[in-house]
Amino acid sequence: MADTERPLSLVVLISGRGSNLKAILRAIDAGRLRATVKAVISSRADADGLRWERAAAIDTLALDGRDYPRREDYDRALLGLIERFAPDLVLLAGFMRILSAGFVRHFRGRLLNIHPSLLPALRGLRTHQRAIAEGLREHGASVHYVTEELDSCPVIIQARVPVLSDDSAETLAARVLQQEHELYVRALQLIATGEIRWNDDGRVYYRDGPLPEPLKITGLPDTTCTID
């Protein structure tokens, strides 16, 4: 159960522009989310998100993957950086690296990711293009605890969007991203209040018992969203 008497402490991992991170910081600043971002770590020294976070006076670090030929060496260095800040949660927010099993085990129950599909559908990359190619009528995003299987369950919460007949991968991606910004905030709100928690049996618990299926968010981001 989360300690609801103090804000969640977060370390956020990015590789690009950091738009989900910015949405989380806006929610914190607005008083919607009791959390503190202790540090932002990027896998690319030239990530746009780092420039923005430096201007916001947040600790920023770059651990460039190109400097580590072996994934295990990179993950060992990344783990050491993260643990300097002793976070409650580590958030993957557009972090474009596959993490090693040892890294994931170390942060078991503390590592979250947002994935642009309705998991377990469309694991992996190019989800928007694949949704269109497969003729899906509905697409979306999922926030889940990270396990050793790529983009695996347990999923906490999902947002759904329609796939329109004239959608391109770019237009569908933009519609999903708009929902992602609110979705990550909602997942963190649930954890911060103790309504969602990771259990040692590897399942997500919602309030008093196991979560039977992912919660769903409906409505417009930042305005009329509700949790069903």
**How many independent structural domains does the chain possess?**
1
* 22 touches 177 (CB < 8 A): no
In a domain, 3, yes or no: no
Average pLDDT, the chain: 89
pLDDT at 150: 66
- % of the chain at pLDDT higher than 90: 75
Q: Confirm whether 181 is a catalytic residue.
A: no
Q: Specify the residue for token string 């596959």.
A: 98
In a domain, 218, yes or no: yes
Least confidently predicted of 17-21, 53-57, 193-197: 53-57
Confidence of residue 220 (pLDDT cuts 50, 70, 90): very low
> Averaged over 167-180, what is the pLDDT?
96
pLDDT at 39: 94
Catalytic residue among 106, 115, 128, 144: 115
Confidence of residue 86 (pLDDT cuts 50, 70, 90): very high
Confidence of residue 49 (pLDDT cuts 50, 70, 90): confident
In a domain, 150, yes or no: yes
In a domain, 212, yes or no: yes
Question: Residue 191 pLDDT more than 70?
Answer: yes
In a domain, 69, yes or no: yes
* 42 touches 14 (CB < 8 A): yes
pLDDT digits (tens, 9 = 90+) for 104-114: 999 999 999 99
In a domain, 1, yes or no: no
Q: What is the CATH number of the domain that holds 109?
A: 3.40.50.170
Question: Residue 95 pLDDT more than 90?
Answer: yes
> Averaged over 16-25, what is the pLDDT?
92
Helix (H) or strand (E) holding 176: helix 169-192
In a domain, 157, yes or no: yes
Is 17 exposed, middle or buried (CB count within 10 Å of its CB: 0-12, 13-18, 19+)? middle
pLDDT digits (tens, 9 = 90+) for 145-164: 998 876 567 999 999 999 99
Cα(9)–Cα(192) distance, rounded to whole angstroms?
10
Which three-class secondary structure state does DSSP give residue 92?
A: strand
pLDDT digits (tens, 9 = 90+) for 2-12: 566 789 999 99
**pTM, rounded to two decimals:** 0.90
pLDDT at 2: 54
Higher pLDDT, residue 150 or 227? 150
Instruction: Residue 169: give the domain boundaries.
Output: 8-227
In a domain, 74, yes or no: yes
Beta strands in 70-184 (DSSP E): 89-92, 111-115, 138-145, 155-162
